[in-house]
C-alpha cells in the first residue's frame, strides 16, 4: 500500500495478463505465440544472452549467422503504431482512498474501467478531509506558463503567513461542515441529505479496475504537467504498479512520457 496525500492510499489488488500475454495475443494474427525476449541467433533461434549487442552464437555446432531481435521489437511496433487491442489483454485492479475532488476527475475515464465506491447514501463518510500543505499552495500559485488552472487569480501568490491563516479558516469550515453533517444524522435527516455540507475535499474509497490500454491512457492524461498535482500523485503510484508488473510495456510508455 502506498500512502498518498494526508490520508489517502493506493493499494494493489490484482493484475492479469503480462508483457508476454500481450505478445501472444498480438501473434494471433500470424498464428504464432510468444518467442522470447532478447536477441536470438538467426540460424538456431536460441537466445544470445543480450538484447542489443551482436554476439557470436555460443551454441555448439551453430554456424554463426548474426543476431535477430526478440519479441521486444514486436512490442515496440505495436506500441508505436497504436495497435492497441493486445494491450486490452492485461489489466489491473486497485483500491484507492482519495478526496472526492480527485475521484471527480478520475471517473471521467469511462470506457474500459469499472468503479465501486463508498456511498454516503449507505454509510456516513468518516471525518477525513484533504488539507493541502503550505508549500503545495504556494508552489501551485507560483507555477507559470500555460497552466492557468493551477494559478491563483490574477497571478497573485499568497505569503506563508496568509496561506497558514487560510488553512486555519479551511479547518474551521471543515469542522462546521462535519458538525452540521453529524447534527443532521443525529436528528434523523436521511444520510443521503445529511451529506449536503460535506466538502469536495472529503476522502472516499473505491475499487477501480481497467485494462492496461485504459490505464496507460489514464496515465497519459493524469501524469501530464497540466494535470492537478493531487491526481498526479495517484497516477504516479499507478505507474509504479505497472512498472513492476508490465516492465516492458511500461518502459515504452515511459519513453513517451509528457
Angle CA(246)–CA(251)–CA(257) in degrees, nearest 5? Answer: 120
Q: How far is the CB of 77 from its own copies (least distance, A)?
A: 10
Of 47 and 233, nearer to its own copies (C-beta) is: 233
Q: Residues near 235 by Cβ (< 8 Å), separated by ≥ 6?
A: 218, 219, 222, 223, 227
40 catalytically annotated: no
Of 62 and 118, nearer to its own copies (C-beta) is: 118
Q: How far is the CB of 36 from its own copies (least distance, A)?
A: 19
| Parallel/antiparallel/unpaired status of strands 8-16 and 40-41 | unpaired
Q: Catalytic pick from 202, 213, 222, 245?
A: 222
Residues 90 and 15: their CA atoms lie apart, in Å, by: 7
Q: How far is the CB of 233 from its own copies (least distance, A)?
A: 13
Residues 20 and 256: their CA atoms lie apart, in Å, by: 21
Q: How far is the CB of 175 from its own copies (least distance, A)?
A: 9
Q: Residue 227 in 3-state DSSP?
A: coil
Of 40 and 232, nearer to its own copies (C-beta) is: 232
Of 24 and 71, nearer to its own copies (C-beta) is: 24
DSSP per-residue codes, 105-172: HHTT--TTEEEEE--TTTSPPPS-B----HHHHHHHHH--SS-TTTSPGGG----HHHHHHHHHHHHH
Report, as residue numbers or ranges, the catalytic residues. 222
Amino acid at each position: 500500500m502506498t500512502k498518498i496525500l494526508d490520508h489517502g492510499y493506493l493499494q494493489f489488488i490484482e493484475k492479469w495478463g503480462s508483457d508476454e500475454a500481450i505478445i501472444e495475443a498480438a501473434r494471433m494474427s500470424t498464428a504464432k505465440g510468444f518467442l522470447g525476449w532478447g536477441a536470438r541467433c538467426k540460424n538456431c533461434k536460441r537466445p544470445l544472452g543480450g538484447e542489443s549487442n551482436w554476439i557470436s552464437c555460443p551454441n555448439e555446432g551453430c554456424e554463426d549467422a548474426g543476431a535477430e531481435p526478440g519479441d521486444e521489437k514486436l512490442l515496440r511496433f505495436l506500441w508505436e503504431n497504436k495497435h492497441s487491442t493486445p494491450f486490452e489483454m492485461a489489466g489491473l485492479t486497485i483500491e484507492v482512498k482519495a478526496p472526492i475532488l480527485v475521484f471527480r476527475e478520475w471517473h471521467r475515464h469511462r470506457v474500459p474501467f469499472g468503479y465501486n465506491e463508498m456511498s454516503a447514501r449507505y454509510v456516513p463518510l468518516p471525518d477525513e478531509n484533504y488539507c493541502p500543505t503550505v508549500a503545495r499552495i504556494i508552489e501551485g500559485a507560483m507555477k507559470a506558463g500555460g497552466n492557468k488552472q493551477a494559478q491563483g487569480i490574477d497571478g497573485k501568490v499568497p505569503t506563508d503567513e496568509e496561506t497558514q491563516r487560510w488553512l486555519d479558516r479551511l479547518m474551521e469550515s471543515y469542522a462546521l461542515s462535519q458538525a452540521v453533517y453529524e447534527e443532521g444524522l443525529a436528528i434523523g435527516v436521511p444520510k443521503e441529505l445529511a451529506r449536503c455540507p460535506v466538502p469536495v475535499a472529503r476522502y472516499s474509497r473505491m475499487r477501480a479496475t481497467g485494462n492496461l490500454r485504459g490505464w496507460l491512457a489514464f496515465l497519459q492524461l493524469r501524469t501530464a504537467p497540466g494535470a492537478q498535482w493531487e491526481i498526479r500523485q495517484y497516477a504516479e503510484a499507478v505507474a509504479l504498479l505497472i512498472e513492476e508488473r508490465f516492465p516492458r510495456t511500461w518502459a515504452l510508455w515511459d519513453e513517451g512520457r509528457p
